Structure 1
Amino acid sequence: MTDPIRTLVVDDDFRVAGLHREIVAARPGFLALEPALSVAAAQTAIRVNQPDLLLVDVHLPDGDGVELVRSCNIDAFVISAANDAPTLRRGLRAGALAVLFKPFEPRLLAERLDRYARYRNLVSGTGPLVQDELDRALAILNGSNDPVTLSRSATEKLILEALSTEEASASEVAELTGVSRATAQRHLVALAARSLVEVRLRYGATGRPEHRYAVADTAKGV
C-alpha cells in the first residue's frame, strides 16, 4: 500500500475550509489534515505535518496565498473567488498545478484530487521518464479529452515498477499507473504469458478468488 496523500487546506473561512477538508477526507488515498486559517498557521502546519498537497485560498488575513505557494515548494491547487486573468496567471506562475474559482461544486474538487492522485503515481519515482509517460501524466492532471497513450513498452515498464514492491490486483495496478483497468488487465495477461509476472490467487470467505499479480524472478532487473 502507498502512503496517503497528506493534504492541507488553507482558507480563512473556517466553514469553507471544513467543507474542502471533508471533500479531501472522502477521497480514497488522501489524508485530510487540520485546516490552516492563515499564512502563519499554514507555515507552522507545513513544518510540523509535511503535507504533500496544499489547497490554498488567495486572500488570507496575514498574507497572499499565491506567495505561500511560490515559497513552499509543495504541490498545490490555488483556490480563489477572484476569477480574473491576472490572478489565474499569478497562480500558475507560482507553480500551482490547478486553479479553482469559488464557488464550485464539490465534485469538481473531488475530480481534480482524483486526477492528481493518478498524476502523482506516474511521476513519483526517482528514475528517468520517457516523453510519452510525461505526456500521459500531464494529460491526466489536466483532464484532457484526448489523452496521450503510452507505448506498449512504456506501459509494461510502469506496470512492472508498480509491482516492484508488492503484489497487486488489476484494479490496483490501474490506479498506480494511471491506465484503465482494461488496459492494465490486458498487459498483465501478456506479461504473465511471457513469465514476467506471476499470477496468484487470494481466496476470501465467499465468492471467486481474487487474481493478484507479482513480478516474477525472471523480470527483476529488466
Structure 2
Amino acid sequence: MTDSIRVLVIDDDFRVAGLHRDLVAARPGFTALEPVHSLGAARAAVRTETPDLLLVDAFLPDGDGVDFVDATPVDAFVLSAATDAQTVRRALRAGALTYLTKPFEARSLADRLDRYSRMRNVLQTDRPLEQDQIDRALSILHGGAEPATVSRSATEQLILDGLGADEASAIEIADRVGISRATAQRHLAALATRGQVEVRLRYGSTGRPEHRYAIARS
C-alpha cells in the first residue's frame, strides 16, 4: 500500500482554493493540505508540510507562480486562467506536469490526479528503470494508450511481480503496477486462462463477490 499523496493548493482566490482542496480530498490516495494564498506562505508550507504535489496558480499577489514551480523541487500542476501560449510554454519549461485552464470541470482535475498517482507507482523504485517503464510513466501521465514498446509479456510480468505472494483485486494490481484497471483485468484474465494465476471469490457485506487474484501454486 502506497502512502497518501500530500497535495498543497496555492491560489490567492480563497473560494477557488477551497474548491480545489475539496476536489483533492475526494480522491482516494490523496491528502489535501490547507491551501495557501501567496508565494511567501507557499514557501513556508513546502518546508513544514512536505507536500508531494503542488497545484499552483500562474500569477499570485507577491510573485509569479511559474517561477515558483521552476525554483521548487516538488512536482507541480499549474492551474491558471491564462490561456496565452507564452504562459503555457513557460509553465512546461519550468517543469509543470500538466496545465489546466480555469475554470475547469472537476473530472478534469480528478483524472490528472489519478494519472499522476499511477505514474508515481511506476517510477517508485530504487532499481534502474527500463525504457518501457519510462515510456509507460509518460504515457500514463499524458493520457495516452499503453505504448507500443511495452509488450504483452512485459506487462504480464509486471502484473505477476505486482501480485507477489499476496492476493489482490484487479484495481489493486492496476494501482501497484501503474496501468489502467481495464488493462489489468484483460491481462489477469489471460494469465488465469493459462493457469498462471488463480481466481478466487470473496464475498463482502453486500453479497456481491469480488474477484481476487493470486499466483497459481505449482
TM-score range, shorter chain: 0.7 to 0.9
How far apart, CA to CA, are the structure 1 residues paired with 2:44 and 2:215? Answer: 42
Structure 2 SS opposite 1:155: helix
- Stretches of 4+ aligned residues off by more than 6 angstroms: none
Structure 1 residue 89 displacement after superposition: 1.4
The answer for the alignment partner of 1:160 in structure 2 is 160
- Which residue pairs with 1:204 in the alignment? 204
User: How many Å separate the matches in 2 of 1:165 and 1:97?
Assistant: 34
Deviations 1:167-202 (A, max 9, x none): 321121123323343432343355567776565553
AA paired with 1:148? P
Number of the residue aligned with 1:99 = 99
Question: Where do 1:156-195 residues align within 5 Å?
Answer: 156-164=156-164, 166-191=166-191
CA distance in 2, matches of 1:162, 1:74: 27
2:71 is paired with a residue whose SS is helix
Per-residue Cα deviation, 1:39-73 (whole angstroms, up to 9, x for no partner): 12111211122111110011112222112211221
d(CA) in 2 for partners of 1:165, 1:73: 36
TM-score normalised over the length of structure 1: 0.84
Report the CA distance shift for 1:151/1:80 in structure 2 as closer, same or farther (over 3 A).
Answer: same
The CA distance in 2 between the partners of 1:182 and 1:79, in whole Å, is: 29
Q: What's the TM-score once normalised by structure 2's chain length?
A: 0.85
Q: Is the 8 A contact 1:66 1:91 kept in 2?
A: yes
Cα RMSD over matched residues? Answer: 2.5
Residue correspondences, number: 217
Q: Separation in 2 of the partners of 1:210 and 1:60?
A: 48
Q: Distance in 1 between matches of 2:210 and 2:19?
A: 37
Q: Which residue of 2 aligns with 1:78?
A: 78
Equivalent pair of 1:160/1:215 in contact (CA under 8 Å)? yes
Q: Is the 2:140–2:179 contact (alpha carbons within 8 Å) kept by the matching residues of 1?
A: no
1:1-222 matches, within 5 Å, as 1-144=1-144, 146-149=145-148, 150-164=150-164, 166-191=166-191, 197=197, 201-205=201-205, 207=207, 209-214=209-214
Alpha-carbon distance, 1:78 to partner: 0.9
Q: C-alpha separation between the residues in 2 aligned to 1:114 and 1:128?
A: 24
Q: Deviations over 1:124-156 (max 9, x none)?
A: 222233223322221221123x54242123212
Q: Is the 8 A contact 2:6 2:30 kept in 1?
A: yes
Instruction: Give the percent of matched residue pairs that are identical in Structure 1 and Structure 2.
Output: 65
Q: Name the CA distance, whole Å, in 2 between partners of 1:133 and 1:70.
A: 25
CA deviation profile, 1:55-103 (whole Å, cap 9, x unmatched) = 0011112222112211221111011222112211111111110011222
Q: Give unpaired runs (5+ residues) of structure 2.
A: none
Change beyond 3 A, Cα 1:206–1:32: closer
Paired residues of 1:133 and 1:154 also in contact (CA < 8 A)? no
CA distance in 1, matches of 2:146, 2:183: 14
Residues 73, 161 of structure 1: alpha-carbon distance in 2 compared, 3 angstrom cutoff = farther
